[in-house]
Chain A
Amino acid sequence: MADQSIDTLRRTPLYELHQEHGGKMVPFAGYEMPVQFEGVKPEHLWTREHAGLFDVSHMGPCFLYLKEGLGQPGAHEKISTLIERLVPSAISTLKPGQGRLTVLLNDGGGILDDLIITRMPDASLDGMLYIVVNGAVKHDDWALIREKLAGEAELQTADDRMLVALQGPEAEAVLTPHFPVAAELSFMRCAHVQKDGERYMVSRCGYTGEDGFELLLPNNETGLAYVRGLLADERVKPIGLGARNSLRLEAGLCLYGHDMDASRTPVEADLQWVIQKSRRERADFPGAEKILKQIADGPAEKRVGILPLERAPAREGTEIHVDGQLVGMVTSGGFGPSTDGPVAMGYVRADLAEPGTKIDLMVRGKARAGEVAALPFVQPNYKR
């Protein structure tokens, strides 16, 4: 995105709010987004201890629904059958309001994106799925879904609205007075609140390893008032993309385009858990043959956590050597404010994927000691 000039970038509905809070704006996924407010480290630590508010309106929320028969018996099974042509997860077994992380696959089993698919909580909206895809690839994702499901399902984009994440141990206490339903949700559950004819989605999920929520709000004064109300709470601070990245890295969560892309299968990316047993048995998803063979035989390379044992961070693109041989590459790396040391993830040869395996991280030509580590680096704080 570096070559995009600033005047062709989109702004989220919260752009002015970021400026009011002193956000340092940078180009990201086609938008002008705040990379930091107070500083990456204090924002990161604040989120782990209190609650951080993230503008994620650059992402791709959308609703996919049956052209006919919405809310009728069997509608969820019908829409699930359609979307399951593109993803390897069991969507049909989702309960009302339940969400699931999955991946969009190409015919070779390569990952086109990671996304969360949620069954609408309302029986009257059975046959509709709430889907959030990554901002950087949302237009490609939407075009693919529309092409593959043409004539059978409609896709309504919702990226003109506000999508914010409230993350951290105090998120529930902060959000409940605004949305009482928040306290009733467990991890990966979603509520649908209808107010003044506007649809609000409240999902208990996030990208930090902390408990928290994602809120899809209308792009109007009411939506803005909600965000202002959350920020007015002394337990809440606005958090930029810098801390979002260090939080997700410590939590062992993948960043699309870095830790996985179309050249990687879910097995290589260590995400085979998104493929439920029923789907493995049916073997009816894109790239199933290759993916199932990798599950059975093991992949040649695998995504792992990487712990630099010295103080130098090993950033994206750092070569991983063992006995002078190139055996892998760091795909995300930096400093973990909560672990108070460098953390990274990357791909290594599968025979070296065992935690504790000693590796050399080639930082600026110098071999620095490191080891393969179990992910995540910080224990998640999800409300199960």
Chain B
Amino acid sequence: MTQFTQQTTFYTEDHEWVTVHGDLATVGITRYAAEQLGDVVFVETPEVGKTFKKGDEMAVVESVKAASDVYAPLSGEIIDTNSALADSPETVNEHPEGEGWFCVIKFSDGAETRNLMDKDAYFEFCKGQ
């Protein structure tokens, strides 16, 4: 099993960021995604204890414009969610890649990080969007 002794951040094509450390992954949406969505008004975080396969619909982020799905970037179990988003969803716009995190996944297969992007690759990916 792949272990991450150093904290490493990956990115998905669905504009999520995933910071892995040990067998835990903290997940949120990128600054690019937050800017595209506009003002976030509600985040439906997953329930603690639920398990997802990579690519499953895991959370929903609602902006003034529309509702958008957030997909599980790695397979695993939800062990924590950001309950502060219930009262202040605008944190997702203010600090998308920090305090605006959505949940923590205890992931089951570290090899799944192989087809995620690093920061430079994600930057190039966004330029092509």
B62 at the interface (CB under 8 A from A): yes
**Of residues 32 to 74 in B, which have CB atoms within 8 Å of A's CB atoms?**
38-39, 41-42, 44, 60, 62-65, 67
Known: A242-B64, A246-B64. A40 touches B89 (CB 8 A): no
- 27 A-B residue pairings within 8 Å (CB atoms): A35-B65, A36-B65, A39-B38, A39-B39, A40-B38, A40-B63, A40-B64, A40-B65, A41-B38, A41-B39, A41-B64, A44-B64, A242-B65, A246-B64, A311-B41, A311-B42, A311-B89, A312-B62, A313-B67, A334-B64, A335-B42, A335-B62, A335-B63, A337-B39, A337-B64, A342-B41, A364-B44
A57→B62 CA distance, assembly (Å) = 30
Choose from A44, A242, A364 the contact partner of B60 (Cβ within 8 Å): A364
User: Shortest distance in angstroms between A345's beta carbon and chain B's nearest beta carbon?
Assistant: 17
B121 at the interface (CB under 8 A from A): no
Chain B residues contacting A311 (CB-CB under 8 Å) are 41-42, 86, 89
Chain B residues contacting A315 (CB-CB under 8 Å) are 67
Chain A residues contacting B86 (CB-CB under 8 Å) are 311
A315→B39 CA distance, assembly (Å) = 16
Interface size, chain A (Cβ < 8 Å) = 17
Choose from A39, A44, A335, A364 the contact partner of B41 (Cβ within 8 Å): A335
User: Shortest distance in angstroms between B17's beta carbon and chain A's nearest beta carbon?
Assistant: 22
Question: CB distance B65 to A313 under 8 Å?
Answer: no
Question: CB distance B64 to A312 under 8 Å?
Answer: no
User: Shortest distance in angstroms between A152's beta carbon and chain B's nearest beta carbon?
Assistant: 46
**Of residues 82 to 100 in B, which have CB atoms within 8 Å of A's CB atoms?**
86, 89
Chain B residues contacting A36 (CB-CB under 8 Å) are 38, 65
User: Shortest distance in angstroms between A335's beta carbon and chain B's nearest beta carbon?
Assistant: 4
Chain B residues contacting A334 (CB-CB under 8 Å) are 64
Contacts beyond the supplied A246-B64, A335-B42: 16 A-B pairs with Cβ under 8 Å: A40-B38, A40-B63, A41-B38, A41-B39, A41-B64, A44-B64, A242-B64, A242-B65, A312-B42, A312-B44, A313-B41, A313-B62, A315-B67, A334-B64, A335-B62, A342-B41
Majority secondary structure of chain A interface residues (helix, strand, loop or mixed): mixed
Question: CB distance A40 to B41 under 8 Å?
Answer: no
1/0 contact string of A33-50 vs chain B (CB within 8 Å): 001100111001000000
User: Shortest distance in angstroms between B51's beta carbon and chain A's nearest beta carbon?
Assistant: 18
Of B39, B41, B42, B64, which is in contact with the most chain A CB atoms at under 10 Å from its CB?
B64
Which residue of chain B has its CB nearest to the CB of A41?
B39
Choose from A35, A40, A364 the contact partner of B39 (Cβ within 8 Å): A40
Chain A residues contacting B42 (CB-CB under 8 Å) are 311-313, 335, 342
1/0 contact string of A237-270 vs chain B (CB within 8 Å): 0000010001000000000000000000000000
Chain B residues contacting A40 (CB-CB under 8 Å) are 38-39, 63-65
A71→B38 CA distance, assembly (Å) = 52
Which residue of chain A has its CB nearest to the CB of B39?
A41
A240→B44 CA distance, assembly (Å) = 27
A311→B86 CA distance, assembly (Å) = 8
A36→B36 CA distance, assembly (Å) = 11
Chain A residues contacting B65 (CB-CB under 8 Å) are 35-36, 40, 242
1/0 contact string of B15-43 vs chain A (CB within 8 Å): 00000000000000000000000110110
The 8 closest A-B pairs by CB, nearest first: A41-B39, A40-B64, A335-B41, A335-B64, A311-B42, A39-B38, A41-B64, A312-B42
A41→B62 CA distance, assembly (Å) = 13
Chain B residues contacting A312 (CB-CB under 8 Å) are 42, 44, 62
User: Shortest distance in angstroms between A324's beta carbon and chain B's nearest beta carbon?
Assistant: 22
User: Shortest distance in angstroms between B23's beta carbon and chain A's nearest beta carbon?
Assistant: 29
A242→B63 CA distance, assembly (Å) = 11
A337→B67 CA distance, assembly (Å) = 16
Chain A residues contacting B62 (CB-CB under 8 Å) are 312-313, 335
User: Shortest distance in angstroms between B71's beta carbon and chain A's nearest beta carbon?
Assistant: 15
User: Shortest distance in angstroms between A126's beta carbon and chain B's nearest beta carbon?
Assistant: 45
Chain B residues contacting A364 (CB-CB under 8 Å) are 44, 60
User: Shortest distance in angstroms between A243's beta carbon and chain B's nearest beta carbon?
Assistant: 9
A276→B106 CA distance, assembly (Å) = 65
Which residue of chain A has its CB nearest to the CB of B86?
A311
A246→B38 CA distance, assembly (Å) = 14
Chain B residues contacting A335 (CB-CB under 8 Å) are 39, 41-42, 62-64
A49→B62 CA distance, assembly (Å) = 25
User: Shortest distance in angstroms between A213's beta carbon and chain B's nearest beta carbon?
Assistant: 26
A36→B35 CA distance, assembly (Å) = 13
**Of residues 320 to 358 in A, which have CB atoms within 8 Å of B's CB atoms?**
334-335, 337, 342
